[in-house]
Amino acid sequence: MPRRVDRGMENYNFATNKMEVCGIGSVPIDCGVEQSTRLFAPRVGIAWRPKEDFVIRAGYGITIDPYSLARPMRTNYPLLVVLNINGANAFQAADNLRDGIPLIPTPNLGNGIVDIASQVAANSLESNYQRGYIQSWNFTLQKKLAWGFVGQAGYVATRQINQVGFKELNYAPVNGGNNGRILAAKFGRTAETRLVTPIGNSHYDGLQTSLERRFAAGMQLGVSYTWSKSIGICCTSNSDGLAAIQIPEYYDLNRSISGINSPYNLTVNGVWALPIGKGGAGPSQGRFPGWWAVGRPTAY
């Protein structure tokens, strides 16, 4: 759990509608948030060459999500005041500009438990934080072909389990409007109140192929093609995001094609050492002598 130089972070308690300044008074410096210390992340790979020109490879590994809780928790109330002023719905003005910004009282840390205004946003953590992880595996076939070419084809997959993001605790039901938010009825809160928590899973499957001629006789050529599909939580492709739908009974509708999905990807690249310049080779020599064809390097 991250902490500041002189105390911990700040955490909204959605049971009491209070902000807890961690490390002050009776509030523990870790905000009472428990995290697993058994984050086992094994990785294993194997390569087998049944023939001199043919190799089979496979691998599997787990990576623990490195998402830092300091990102969402370091700018929380009362260190930072995020004031949300909303109308009753999207078609009504929240206020008049001539009235100015409402007065925001300066909080007193006191015993570490601080009142928070209903229009001030806050972030929160569960007492048992579940850190996500990513599983990756692949199976690849590689074959040496004629004329110096090497072909490769492989299945590559990842599964992100418990992708970290935000869930809006103060959501409103369909046609509920701003005043129909869940915490508005309970505490009068109309501001964003978000929980940093796993928001779902995502997965990627891809067929990755390549045909490559390594640098020889002054030339190199590579062609790669990927056919893939990525499915995740709409509309966030990375940790630190908020799903499009926050109402629990409709939350499953967030599962969709990822915004970063690119099903077809073709890349062609090549290098040709031109037979010109000082130290270069002419056509009469029948071949290009590698990188020396573009000029000798200077020694310093």
Q: Where are the domains of the chain?
A: 10-294
Q: How far is CA 242 from CA 13, 181, 212, 285, in A?
A: 20, 17, 41, 63
Q: In whole angstroms, what is the distance from residue 222 CA to residue 269 CA?
A: 5
Rounded to a whole number of angstroms, the distance between the first and last alpha carbons of the chain is: 50
By the 10 Å C-beta count (0-12 exposed, 13-18 middle, 19+ buried), 12 is classed as buried
Percent of the chain residues topping a pLDDT of 90? 49
- 217 or 29, greater pLDDT: 29
Distinct helix (H) and strand (E) counts, the chain: 2, 15
Q: In whole angstroms, what is the distance from residue 280 CA to residue 193 CA?
A: 68
Question: Confidence class of residue 158 from pLDDT cuts 50, 70 and 90?
Answer: very high
pLDDT score at 36? 85
Question: Confidence class of residue 279 from pLDDT cuts 50, 70 and 90?
Answer: low
Name the residue with tokens 């806050």. Answer: 122
pLDDT score at 148? 85
* Pairing state between β 122-125 and 193-216: parallel
- The β-bridge partners of 159 are 135, 203
pLDDT score at 294? 40
Q: What is the pLDDT of residues 261-276, one digit of tens each?
A: 889 999 999 988 877 7
Is the pTM value of this prediction over 0.85? no
Q: Average pLDDT over the chain, rounded to whole?
A: 86
pLDDT score at 201? 92
Question: Is 90 exceeded by the pLDDT of residue 171?
Answer: yes
Q: What is the pLDDT of residues 45-102, one digit of tens each?
A: 999 999 999 999 999 999 998 888 999 898 899 888 888 887 777 788 888 888 888 7
Question: Confidence class of residue 277 from pLDDT cuts 50, 70 and 90?
Answer: low
Q: Where are the alpha helices (DSSP H) in 146-217?
A: 182-187
pLDDT score at 95? 82
Question: Is 70 exceeded by the pLDDT of residue 237?
Answer: no
- The β-bridge partners of 73 are none
